[in-house]
């Protein structure tokens, strides 16, 4: 499953979030970052979108929790939107840092 994480905080927020996730011991290797695809008509990747390949529901849940914790730790909380795209093309977008909402998103995507 592909996870796209977009933040309205620009490249600085995206880089900070990428470092946060990389340093989070709770995020397993099954939630690995992958290079983001270039925007249509662009020759380089979008800088404010992080993309992850997630191998299972546990990794997905850990990634969502890490993103929510990062957002809650910011003095000014940027908007973060996560879009999960399953191999069958179905997608779910979450814009929340509420643990119950994140758990519901994991269930919606076929997790436990």
pLDDT tens-digit series, residues 74-108: 998 888 888 888 888 888 888 876 667 766 776 77
Domain range for 10: 2-37+45-108
Residues 6+ apart with CB under 8 A from 1: 53, 54, 55, 60, 84, 85, 86, 87, 109
Q: What is the pLDDT of residue 40?
A: 63
Q: Write the pLDDT tens digit of every residue in 11-69.
A: 888 889 999 999 999 999 888 888 666 656 655 555 678 888 888 888 888 888 898 89
Distance of CA 85 to the CA centre of its chain: 11
The count of domains in the chain is: 1
């Amino acid at each position: 499953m592909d996870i796209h994480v977009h933040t309205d905080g620009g490249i600085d927020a995206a880089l900070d979030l990428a470092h946060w996730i990389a340093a989070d011991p709770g995020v397993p290797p099954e939630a690995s970052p992958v290079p983001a695809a270039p925007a249509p008509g662009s020759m380089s990747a979008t800088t404010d979108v992080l993309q992850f390949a997630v191998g299972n529901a546990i990794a997905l849940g850990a990634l969502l929790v890490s993103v929510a914790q990062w957002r809650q730790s910011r003095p000014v909380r940027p908007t973060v939107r996560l879009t999960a795209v399953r191999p069958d093309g179905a997608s779910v977008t979450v814009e929340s840092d509420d643990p119950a909402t994140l758990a519901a998103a994991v269930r919606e995507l076929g997790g436990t």
